[in-house]
Amino acid sequence: MIINTGCRTDILAFYSKWFINRIREGYVLVRNPYYPSQITKYLLNPEVVDCIEFCTKNPEPILKYLDELDRFKQDWFVTITPYRKDIEPNVPDKQKVIESFKKLSDHFKRNYVGWRYDPIFINDEFDVNKHIQEFEKIAKALKGYTKNCVISFLDLYEKVKRNAPNLKTTYNGRTKTLEKIVIA
């Protein structure tokens, strides 16, 4: 069984203590969002968990518990983007996230810690050239700490269009493309 900790919320950023308590207790109860009365109990021990997949924008709160997680196979993805507090209000300063990323990489080896640069969106401030510049800065800071980078573009669902009307779906006639990005 693979446990993914980042589908519905950033558990590590906001609920690290709860999560480590679930690890200590050896199980977690999960409510089905479509059928709220359906609750499933999952065992959290290395005998049944093949891997825990961690996805976060702020790994700092879980760092003090890393030794307790060592008995599990793990993969980590940390999202680091250039956006400001008005876009990502609950994400710490990027430099702090980069430092936490490096601590993760030092602990688990860079093979198990990947960087996510997503979602990419284009607006008046974050055009393609700005994304390329910012991507290169972050890539330079993470050099030697990861072998993987995943990029993806913002899916413009109706709710996203309504909440962020200044986002562009095209840039100079190209739909959602960043052609010049090269991983350092």
- Does residue 28 fall inside a structural domain? no
Round the average pLDDT of the chain to a whole number and report it: 86
Domain that holds residue 110: 51-175
CA-CA distance, 136 to 159, in Å (whole number)?
31
CA-CA distance, 5 to 2, in Å (whole number)?
10
More confident residue, 80 or 119: 80
Which amino acid is residue 157, in one-letter code? Y
Q: How many domains does the chain have?
A: 1
For residue 118, the tally of other CB atoms under 10 A from its CB is 16
Range name among 3-12, 82-91, 156-165 with the lowest pLDDT average: 156-165
- Does residue 138 fall inside a structural domain? yes
CA-CA distance, 129 to 174, in Å (whole number)?
14
- Does residue 67 fall inside a structural domain? yes
Residue 33, pLDDT score? 87
Contact 134, 118 (CB under 8 A): no
Helices and strands counted in the chain (H then E): 5, 9
Residue 122 is given by DSSP the state B
Spell out the SS3 assignment of 21-87. Answer: HHHHHCEEEEECCCCCCCEEEEECCCCCCCEEEEEECCCHHHHHHHHHHCCCCEEEEEECCCCCCCC
User: What number is the average pLDDT over the span 18-30?
Assistant: 96
H/E element, 99: helix 94-108
Residue 6 is given by DSSP the state -
User: What number is the average pLDDT over the span 149-155?
Assistant: 85
CATH code for the domain in which residue 154 is found: 3.80.30.30
pLDDT band of 81, cuts 50, 70, 90: very high
- Does residue 109 fall inside a structural domain? yes
CA-CA distance, 58 to 80, in Å (whole number)?
9
- Does residue 58 fall inside a structural domain? yes
pLDDT band of 175, cuts 50, 70, 90: very low
Which amino acid is residue 27, in one-letter code? Y
For residue 20, the tally of other CB atoms under 10 A from its CB is 18
Token pair of 166, please? 């200044």
Token pair of 78, please? 């940390």
User: What number is the average pLDDT over the span 93-104?
Assistant: 95
Range name among 66-80, 118-132, 152-166 with the lowest pLDDT average: 152-166
Position 151 pLDDT exceeds 80: yes
- Does residue 87 fall inside a structural domain? yes
- Does residue 183 fall inside a structural domain? no
